[in-house]
Structure 1
Amino acid sequence: MPLSTISLHDKQFTPYLPAARIAEAVRNIATRLNQDYAGQQPLFVVVLNGSFMFAADLMKEMSIDCEVAFIRVASYQGTTSTGEVKEILGLQEEVANRHLIIVEDIVDTGHTMRELLEQLTARKPASLEVATLFTKPECLQHQLELRYVGIELPNEFIVGYGLDYDGLGRNYPDVYKVV
């Protein structure tokens, strides 16, 4: 069935990335993680709310022993980043000397990721990497090493597959861009 335009709040969104393309990107990230962390039992630190679909699909593809923890941060209001990171729900697991992989839906400005990397580095993990489904390289305002990236995107606001516009749109299996 062809995808159609959707309306969320006051904006229109057109089809952008089909679920099949997203699934391929998730499998590619999982393949690399399975190879790179074989025998190491990493802790995946999932950033809520946007990463829930990506994290669930990624975990289904993991063949290594691993654990999952969740944190929640916020830096968006409407369609733009506020530039201010607020930790809402913190990480309770001990992370010192553990291999950590931050699972993020999208890295655009890099404000949230920079803050997370700083906070987690202070807890002295054995290693710390980022697995992000999407990144917008032209939006990055911080030097970040993103080792596991699914899809690089231009600077367009997107919803679907966990990403939202003021709370709506997370439930779509495909990704849509604002008109």
Structure 2
Amino acid sequence: MEQKKENILISEEQIKKRISELGKEISRNYKNKNLYVLSLLRGSFIYTADLVRQITTPTRIGFMTTSSYGNAEISTGMVKVVNDIPDNIEGLDVLIVDDIVDTGITMDFVVNHVKSLGASSVKSCVLLDKPERRKVNIKPDYCCFEIPDVFVVGYGLNYGDFYRNIPYIFNWEEK
């Protein structure tokens, strides 16, 4: 990436503002519900941490690890469960949190998996939605930002094993 320049698409301030708004909306919608936030690792861990701090409804949190990218820039199309949900979610209102929905294959897989475990309700919440790449019919229930079909990193999104710690979302341009 030495020959490329960062192009910031979504600033740290924009992310914080939108997550605050979304946390309030989720708090209203899940008032008096049994909210269980299921964070899909590794990409969503930063987003999930910031989001749940904005939710005022009592919330249980669990983690599931899936993989469909490896170290590539595009999905392989195959979802692999690396670590499954550690808790019994039967009867709970599950909010699946992920960093990005592009093809939709992973989210579709996880939604169906969570339903099969007896959740009372299942909704999805993503930082980024990239609808141009959709391969299955799924639309996130909650979304911070819709983006065009560009490869992005930062704020939990990685390239290989790097860039998750950057506090904003960017792509690269040729220098």
One-letter amino acid of the counterpart of residue 63, structure 2? F
Equivalent of 2:38 in 45, 65, 75 = 45
Distance (Å, rounded) in 1 between the aligned partners of 2:158 and 2:5: 13
Q: What stretches of structure 2 of length at least 5 have no aligned partner?
A: none
Map residues 100-139 of structure 1 onto 2, 5 A cutoff.
100-139=94-133
Map residues 1-179 of structure 1 onto 2, 5 A cutoff.
7=1, 12-76=5-69, 77-179=71-173
Change (3 A) 1:112 1:12: farther
Tell me the TM-score normalized by structure 2. 0.94
Shift of 1:12: 4.9
Q: What stretches of structure 1 of length at least 5 have no aligned partner?
A: 1-6
| Deviant stretches of 4+, over 4 Å | none
Query: Aligned residue pairs: how many?
Result: 172
Identity within the alignment, % = 27
Give the aligned CA root-mean-square deviation in angstroms. 1.4
Contact kept? 1:109, 1:142, Cα under 8 Å: yes
- SS of equivalent residue, structure 2 residue 31: coil
Contact kept? 1:18, 1:174, Cα under 8 Å: yes
